[in-house]
A and B are shown apart, each in its own frame.
Chain A
Amino acid sequence: MVDIAIGAAGAIPPAEVKDVELYHPKSWLTKYVFCQDAKVIAIQYSITALSIGLVALVLSWLMRLQLAFPSTFSFIGPGEYLQFITIHGMIMVIYLLTALFLGGFGNYLIPLMVGARDMVFPYVNMLSYWVYLLAVLVLVASFFMPGGPTGAGWTLYPPQAILSGTPGQQWGIVLMLASLILFIIGFTMGGLNYVVTVLQARTRGMTLMRMPLTVWGILTATVLALLAFPALFVGCVMLLFDRVLGTSFFVPAIVEMGEHLKYSGGSPLMFQHLFWFFGHPEVYIVAVPAFGIVSDLISTHARKNIFGYRMMVWAIVAIGALSFIVWAHHMYVSGMNPYFGFFFATTTLIIAIPTAIKVYNWVLTLWRGNIHLTVPMLFALSFIVTFVNGGLTGLFLGNVVVDVPLSDTMFVVAHFHMVMGMAPIFVIFGGIYHWYPKVTGRMLNEPLGKFHFWVTFLGAYSIYFPMHYLGLLGVPRRYFELGETAFIPQSAMSLNIFITVAALTVGFAQMVFLINLIWSLFNGKPAGSNPWRATTLEWQTPETPPGHGNWGKELPVVYRWAYDYSVPGAAQDFIPQNQPAVVRAA
């Protein structure tokens, strides 16, 4: 077992860590490839997640092309369309957002922000990345198998997920389930590290209530993920048994192509319960780290302390707890008991309270702040607006009577893309623009960044605002083409073309971002150690990018909370967390 030293006093780790106790890379291979340093693992996670995210982006272009110009592209058939939908959704939610927030941001920021030298179990942390990579490769492999990847929809509902009408029934679904199982195993390894590092490896003076909200967000999301992913694991294992070994956990007696299958008695509804018992916390696994990061971005770039820090912490914890008792609001159309629906509608609407507290606090943080419209700030502001928009349509869908008619329409697609697609992605971009200088030592190019922001922000609204309208018209989701119907006017088709043009434009703006990431690595303006003049510990490292063991010889000591911006009477408009009170008085 590898332990970061916990001193004889127990609770307070010593300032100096004996060099022996740290992990030392001995060769190029262990320094850059099989590395146990959380910072390298974070970069590996981020690059892998962004790469597989690009695949999902291209899949969304293909879907949009088909919707705008039906029967134009010979290579997109109904089966392919369903495969694109499924893999796009699966990658974006799990392999991109979850992996990037927790594996990427979590690995990089937790040890630096709490003043630790590394994660507490570096070897397990390394394994976590390699199992994640394996999961991604298994997913990619399904593209090259006979029948292609699964087209069951990202929810993988049985029985259709494993019946022969669904594309990818041969190999696709098996590899998809195997990949998810691997992902969960890999995530659990990483998740143990994130939680125990926050609990046990905080530096002297770093009490829980002095932690930046980013750490609170990532910690809470990790706890949610550790408890919720097992539900997906159970669902995947049992579905795999049904598909491969012929058990009847989920699949009822069924006739396929005029032939009685050997299944009997399985309960498809049981899968829906298991899936959404994971699926709803998953929304918050993605949203809660975004809440945390955006709080830090807003405070830093508005040069003002976060409004209501304690409330922010309590709200994060409350949202995490509530997220476990709302899952069935995804199942209003499954034929559930109306009282059941009433219960879940109530709990769903209660979540609006802590969420609204957070939004008010962000806005009040901005109030009379010294707002710098830097690229990270622009993305943080766009998150607030987008999250509020997506949250408001959530109030519609949280009510059973409104949800039932809207459930299978584009309205739902618009809602969840706003609230858990675009909003967290904006935070990811904001976070990358904010911390890239620490990771590489160079600033990202600002004009390119602003171009990227405006095209992405305005483009996202051009895509999803009209989609709400399509949904209200009754345009169904998941349909390969709409054909001739009485209730869908020709104007809806024109709107679809507009949305597709916007989607392609936003997609190409991401290429500008990628070029910026690579170009700035070599040509960016040197950043110095603290370009945003921020208070949190990661900006106080002796080297930039932080070196081996993060902190030189001695660990930093924390004397204050993370939000001392614009303190009256202070020499500068920020006071780092590791600066004691007496120095200021002197």
Chain B
Amino acid sequence: MSFAILFVLVPIGAIVAWWLSQQRLMAKPWLEVGAIDEVPDTGASSLPAAVIGLGVFLAVVSSLFALFVSAYFMRMQVADWVQLPAPKLLWFNTGALILSSAALQYAHVAARRGGIEGVRDGLIFGGLFALTFLAGQLLAWRQLNATGYFLAANPGNAFFYLFTGVHGLHLLGGLVALGMTAGKVWRGFEVNQVRLSVRLCAVYWHFLLALWLVLFSLLTPWVGDFAIICRGLLI
């Protein structure tokens, strides 16, 4: 539980505390009666409600995965734990997810600049790369199954299937939203009618990418190698 508390609930608590500190909690409302034209600001954010809603939802998802990861660390300490050799395919999948996220960022930037063609291309490629990622994940499952790493054989395997599965379901949910947005573009909506939806999709995609990178680094024993490769590239 310490993982969940330290890395997710403390930051969320800090955000809530910071937000509360901006809300005049020291006010004495019983002394502050307004006259007819004297209406104070409510302190609501100028962001659209949907953006705030997505932010709250991402906090919930963070809490969910932090607790999964907490369970992972707790279960890891038992002697029967065997780390699963993560299939090489995952590197390809990760690349696809990064491209997907980049495509949606492209769509987001295009939407801000008012180019509907850019939005359309970004959405299509974002969707295709995301589907590639999901197909790759399924293929990784099949490879593992074929080599005898069954779900119930070891908790290491079970967590691998669990993490990839729950992450994949979240991406699938995102694809529904993406599909609806793409449908709007297809039906000829103006760019300012889809700008918000594209923005929400892009934020969600970046979040899922970051989440995947965390999960991937936990699942793969070669995460140390990655750092070495990066250093190699830099020199």
Mutual binders A and B: yes
Residues of A within 8 A of B (CB): 1, 3-4, 6, 10-13, 120-121, 188, 191-192, 195-196, 199-210, 223, 226-227, 230-231, 233-234, 237-238, 241, 245-249, 262, 264-267, 270, 273-274, 277, 305, 309-310, 313-314, 317, 321, 324-325, 327, 557-561, 563-564, 580-583
Q: A274-B71, A581-B33 are in contact. Are A6 and B48 (CB under 8 A)?
A: yes
- List B contacts of A314 (CB < 8 A): 25
- List A contacts of B196 (CB < 8 A): 1
Number of CB contacts from chain A to chain B under 8 A: 197
Shortest CB-to-CB span from A51 to chain B, Å, is 28
Shortest CB-to-CB span from A170 to chain B, Å, is 19
| CB <8 Å contact, A581 and B42 | no
Shortest CB-to-CB span from B27 to chain A, Å, is 4
**A-B contact list, 23 entries, CB within 8 Å:** A1-B48, A13-B44, A192-B56, A200-B44, A205-B42, A206-B42, A207-B23, A207-B42, A209-B23, A227-B9, A230-B67, A234-B71, A238-B71, A249-B155, A264-B80, A265-B81, A310-B27, A313-B25, A559-B35, A561-B32, A580-B35, A581-B35, A582-B35
Q: Which secondary structure dominates where chain B touches chain A?
A: helix
How many chain B residues sit at the interface, stated as a range, is 35 or more
- List B contacts of A208 (CB < 8 A): 23-25, 42-43
Instruction: Point out the residue from A201, A231, A558 that lies within 8 Å of B49, measured CB to CB.
Output: A201
Does any Cβ of A come within 8 Å of B128's Cβ? no
| CB <8 Å contact, B49 and A196 | yes
| CB <8 Å contact, A199 and B25 | no
| CB <8 Å contact, B44 and A1 | no
Give the contacts of B180-197 with A (CB-CB under 8 A): 196-197
- List B contacts of A558 (CB < 8 A): 34, 39
| CB <8 Å contact, B59 and A226 | yes
- List A contacts of B12 (CB < 8 A): 227
A246 to B68 CA separation, bound complex (whole angstroms): 18
A226 to B61 CA separation, bound complex (whole angstroms): 9
| CB <8 Å contact, B158 and A11 | no
| CB <8 Å contact, B67 and A3 | no
| 10 A-B pairs closest in CB distance | A10-B46, A265-B80, A561-B29, A230-B64, A246-B152, A559-B34, A247-B158, A580-B36, A120-B49, A1-B50
- List A contacts of B211 (CB < 8 A): none
A194 to B45 CA separation, bound complex (whole angstroms): 16
A486 to B144 CA separation, bound complex (whole angstroms): 59
| CB <8 Å contact, A277 and B1 | yes
B180: nearest residue on chain A (CB-CB)?
A: A1
A234: nearest residue on chain B (CB-CB)?
A: B67
| CB <8 Å contact, A247 and B64 | no
| CB <8 Å contact, A12 and B42 | yes
- List A contacts of B34 (CB < 8 A): 205, 558-560, 580-581
A252: nearest residue on chain B (CB-CB)?
A: B78
The winner among A195, A209, A210, A580 for most chain B CB atoms within 10 A is A209
Does any Cβ of A come within 8 Å of B16's Cβ? yes
Does any Cβ of A come within 8 Å of B87's Cβ? no
| CB <8 Å contact, B75 and A249 | yes
| CB <8 Å contact, A309 and B29 | yes
- List A contacts of B1 (CB < 8 A): 273, 277, 327
A40 to B71 CA separation, bound complex (whole angstroms): 40
Q: A3-B50, A205-B40 are in contact. Are A249 and B59 (CB under 8 A)?
A: no
Shortest CB-to-CB span from B200 to chain A, Å, is 7
A561 to B27 CA separation, bound complex (whole angstroms): 11
A249 to B41 CA separation, bound complex (whole angstroms): 51
Does any Cβ of A come within 8 Å of B139's Cβ? no
A97 to B75 CA separation, bound complex (whole angstroms): 33
| CB <8 Å contact, B42 and A6 | no
Does any Cβ of A come within 8 Å of B13's Cβ? yes
- List B contacts of A10 (CB < 8 A): 44-46
| CB <8 Å contact, A200 and B29 | no
| CB <8 Å contact, A204 and B71 | no
| CB <8 Å contact, A202 and B152 | no
- List B contacts of A207 (CB < 8 A): 23-24, 27, 29, 40-43
| CB <8 Å contact, A248 and B152 | yes
- List B contacts of A1 (CB < 8 A): 48, 50, 196-197, 200
Instruction: Point out the residue from A196, A205, A277 that lies within 8 Å of B53, measured CB to CB.
Output: A196
Having A11-B41, A191-B60, A580-B38, one finds 5 other A-B pairs with CB under 8 Å, namely A121-B50, A192-B60, A195-B56, A310-B25, A581-B34
Instruction: Point out the residue from B4, B30, B42 that lies within 8 Å of A204, measured CB to CB.
Output: B42
Shortest CB-to-CB span from B67 to chain A, Å, is 4
| CB <8 Å contact, A226 and B56 | yes
The winner among B12, B44, B46 for most chain A CB atoms within 10 A is B44
- List A contacts of B30 (CB < 8 A): 305, 309, 561, 563-564
